[in-house]
Structure 1
Amino acid sequence: MKNYINKFYLLKLTLAASLLLSFSSCKKEYVDPNAALADDVLTTSRGLTGVAVGLQRLYTAGRAGVYFNSVSANGFVTNEIYLVNSGNIPELQLFTGGSSVDGTNAILTGLWTNANKIIFDADNVINNAANLADKDYAAGLIAYTSIFKALAIGNLSQYWEKIPSGIGQNVSFITRQEGFTKAIKVIDDALAGVNGKAINPALLSNIPAGIDIKNTLNALKARYALFMGNYVLALSAANSVDLTVKSSFNFDNNTFNPIYDIATSTANVFQPTNAALGLTGTAVPDADDKRIPFYTAAAATAPFARLKGFGAALTMAIPVYLPGEITLIKAEVLARQPDPEAALTELNKVVTKDPATAVFGVGAGLPALTGTYNKEELLALIYKHRCIELYLSGLKIEDMRRFGLSNSERKRNFFPYPFTERDGNPNTPADPAF
């Protein structure tokens, strides 16, 4: 990520995040000791844009970032990844699963704390951008910021049974389903300001390149509508996504791809469970599936697979969503209808996709599925191809629940609440049994 606005704003945000992680309890007040300066930042387009750019950094930055912690937590408990070094205690807890995962886990604490920090900062941008004189710039800025607020709420809702209802001391909690509804409301409000018009070019020149704002908002809307079981909305939103357009988190020599930086380059944190991506039974990838050599490289020693895919290089971009996810959303929605036959058409778009022509190079390159499939068979195939297509995306645990897989096939179902929350908020719910 380059110096798009002003290094001062990014440094200020990063320092605030670092201070937040050192707090002994998470009260979610995020008081800025430089309040007068903060007030000035929140009244100008330059200042607000700087804060918004900081959200992307906080979401994708290394071990502190929501993205890496989400991928790690999800990967260990769903058997996508294998722990290389048992001296990494937070990773060991998740790899072991069950009661070994508790409120001390640093990965979960980082995910929880920084997701809430993103929501807090995003609210500051969204609320204050509405006061800017340039309404087109403000609408685009709100839309860009809303991506990270929706991702933060969505991540919390994927991993915890209940999430904070807002930001503040002794905040109450809402159900995860209400969390997904809230994320969709954030997206809808953002889309209302930018639909039917181009994103302001001045804004695009001031934020990191890579993210297609409107397509990303619709893709996230489709994702979270699917997760909450609103299939009509999920299909409508999925149909609004242009599958030929890339949307990605971009990295450079100053801001590194977190998967490569932490795991691939060191080979000392995690690696793929195996060349089958940890899948078993009917979900095992076909021998000729070209997504396997995309995501993994063969190795001579256990676990006989090494990270590749979107963690293959220090500056490699990571998709915000894959076009294949959107196609599989359509397939799943159609498969859950009374007449699921149309789902096979969408599923085959993923099954037969040529990696050479795929937007991000992810393609199975397999022959089309033929014959007649009932609803259960189609859903099993869709689950299989989601696990392969969306490997290491942080989405598998939600899929395992939605497709009804037994708890015995994963190491946790929901996560315990971090002690930093429980110690500072008497409204924190009881931890889940598993």
Structure 2
Amino acid sequence: MKRFKTKYTFRVSFIALFFMIIGCGKDFTDPTRVPEDAVFGTLQGLTGAVVGLQRDYTAQRTSSLYNSVTSNGFTTKELFLVNPGNLPEAQLNTGGIAVDGTNTILSGMWSNSNKIIYDANKVIEGAQLQSDKNYASGLIAYATIFKALALGNMSQSWEQVPNGIGVNVGFMARKDGFSAAITAIDQALAAINANPISTTFMANIPPGIDIVNTLNALKARYAMASGNNDLALAAANAVDLTKKSTFNFDATTQNPIFETATSSNNVYQPVDSTLGLKVPLQPDLTDKRVPFYTSINPTIAPRFRIKGFGETLNTPFPVYLPGEITLIKAEAYARKNDLTNGLIELNKILTKTAATDPFGLGANLPALASVATQQELLDQIYKNRCIELYMSGLKLEDMRRFNRPNSERGRNFYPYPLVERDNNTNTPDDPGF
């Protein structure tokens, strides 16, 4: 097969031409663009489109990556607002009724997620018609990663999510959104099992993402969010915890957390060394994960600064962390009331050192000798998820699942963006909190 020259220059020029982010109630077709069959009907066009999914998900302040980390961080008190003049962030920092359908961080995540789902579906449909099944399985799997992330972000943020793309679409419960993500992942894994991904496809996409491990990790994440402990445990056990899977950046396409927040010191920084946790769940003073995620500026306020996965313009951002997968195992066992195995998995996180973690993230703490009750174990798992997965965009979902009090967060679910409400009569009522 002829190798396509689709990498970074193609990604920027091709995708800038073909993709725009708009609300899900809109028609995504545009008569001024090249016809869709020219994009989604050939392997070269499909490759450009699937690379564009990653760019849409990660690039700049409008991306789902920035918006999910930022909305979650303010709502769950992980972040300190440096400049109240940043109105969308300021609304989220205040919480409650201050957050409304005009918030551009939330509308950006909503529109970006729906556009990604639409484009991913087009890639998957087009790939299924291609004769090179090994290349096609790569297209399907890669597109599914971003489709699953988009469905997951929406289901973690809103009570209901669109049940399709188009005009006046209906809505489904957020748990069904997680189920849709898992179904898509299962179909992608089946495609890979039938036709292993070709090396040609892997050479034509940006480096960083471990496709099979990522699919299983996301399956575990969304199974846990759905309350399916057995499925979460099985999917987590399928992930190779020695491997990394990352969104990579460079001087042209910068890490969006660094680009917007870290470099400017004008939007947000970490709240402090508590990482937003209340007594008695605050990190131990010797927990090495705190200096991994934060640094100290002794002269210029604020004192605590972003480190971790937003430290530099080219710091890779993990699609998932190995520690997340271990903590999913711990939680699944704990919720099945298997305290012995739950504690074993939790202690793997507590005793892990930087040298033994693929990302250099380790608590380096002593193991817990025992836990007296299921609730005690769950509290410890929640605490360590908040520390291990700081600024990951996952904490709000955790707060609800672990039944943390409303006083610890600014909202339970977000109001629906006006970009949807103004174009879809089926948009549900906004939640009270």
Q: Which residue of structure 2 aligns with residue 109 of structure 1?
A: 107
Question: Quick check: 2:24–2:166 contact (8 Å CA) kept in 1?
Answer: no
SS of corresponding position for 2:129: coil
The aligned amino acid for 2:16 is T
- State how far apart, in whole Å, the 2-side matches of 1:254 and 1:373 are: 52
Q: CA deviation at 1:369?
A: 1.0
User: Is 2:188 the counterpart of 1:186?
Assistant: no
Q: Which residue of structure 1 aligns with residue 38 of structure 2?
A: 40
Q: Which residue of structure 2 aligns with residue 222 of structure 1?
A: 220
SS of corresponding position for 1:306: strand
User: Is 2:413 the counterpart of 1:411?
Assistant: no
- Please show how residues 61-100 of structure 1 align to structure 2 within 5 Å: 61-100=59-98
Q: Which residue of structure 2 aligns with residue 332 of structure 1?
A: 331
Q: CA deviation at 1:88?
A: 0.3
Q: CA deviation at 1:36?
A: 5.0
- Please show how residues 315-326 of structure 1 align to structure 2 within 5 Å: 315-326=314-325
TM-score w.r.t. structure 2 length? 0.96
Question: Quick check: 2:406–2:412 contact (8 Å CA) kept in 1?
Answer: yes
- Please show how residues 233-312 of structure 1 align to structure 2 within 5 Å: 233-300=231-298, 303-312=302-311
Q: Which residue of structure 1 aligns with residue 363 of structure 2?
A: 364
Q: Which residue of structure 2 aligns with residue 396 of structure 1?
A: 395
The aligned amino acid for 1:229 is G
- 1:45-82 Cα offsets, whole Å, 9 max, x none, are 11101000000000001111101000000000100001
Question: Quick check: 2:246–2:316 contact (8 Å CA) kept in 1?
Answer: yes
Moved more, 234-243 or 301-310: 301-310
- State how far apart, in whole Å, the 2-side matches of 1:377 and 1:267 are: 38
User: Is 2:27 the counterpart of 1:29?
Assistant: yes
Question: Quick check: 1:48–1:125 contact (8 Å CA) kept in 2?
Answer: yes
Residues 88 and 228 of structure 1, relative CA distance in 2, 3 Å threshold: same
The aligned amino acid for 2:81 is L
Residues 36 and 296 of structure 1, relative CA distance in 2, 3 Å threshold: closer
Q: Which residue of structure 1 aligns with residue 55 of structure 2?
A: 57
The aligned amino acid for 2:338 is D
Moved more, 380-389 or 38-47: 38-47
- 1:162-199 Cα offsets, whole Å, 9 max, x none, are 00001111000000000000000010000001137642
Q: CA deviation at 1:253?
A: 1.7
The Cα RMSD (Å) is 1.5
- 1:246-275 Cα offsets, whole Å, 9 max, x none, are 110011121101111111111110000111
Q: Which residue of structure 2 aligns with residue 14 of structure 1?
A: 16
Question: Quick check: 2:130–2:136 contact (8 Å CA) kept in 1?
Answer: yes
Stretches of structure 1 lacking an aligned partner (at least 5 in a row): none
The match for 2:132 among 129, 134, 158 is 134
Residues 26 and 226 of structure 1, relative CA distance in 2, 3 Å threshold: closer
Q: CA deviation at 1:276?
A: 1.1
TM-score w.r.t. structure 1 length? 0.96
Question: Quick check: 2:14–2:48 contact (8 Å CA) kept in 1?
Answer: no
The aligned amino acid for 2:348 is K
Residues 287 and 172 of structure 1, relative CA distance in 2, 3 Å threshold: same
The aligned amino acid for 2:276 is G
- State how far apart, in whole Å, the 2-side matches of 1:189 and 1:399 are: 27
- 1:353-392 Cα offsets, whole Å, 9 max, x none, are 0112210011101111113431000000000000000000
Q: CA deviation at 1:5?
A: 4.0
> How many residues get paired?
428
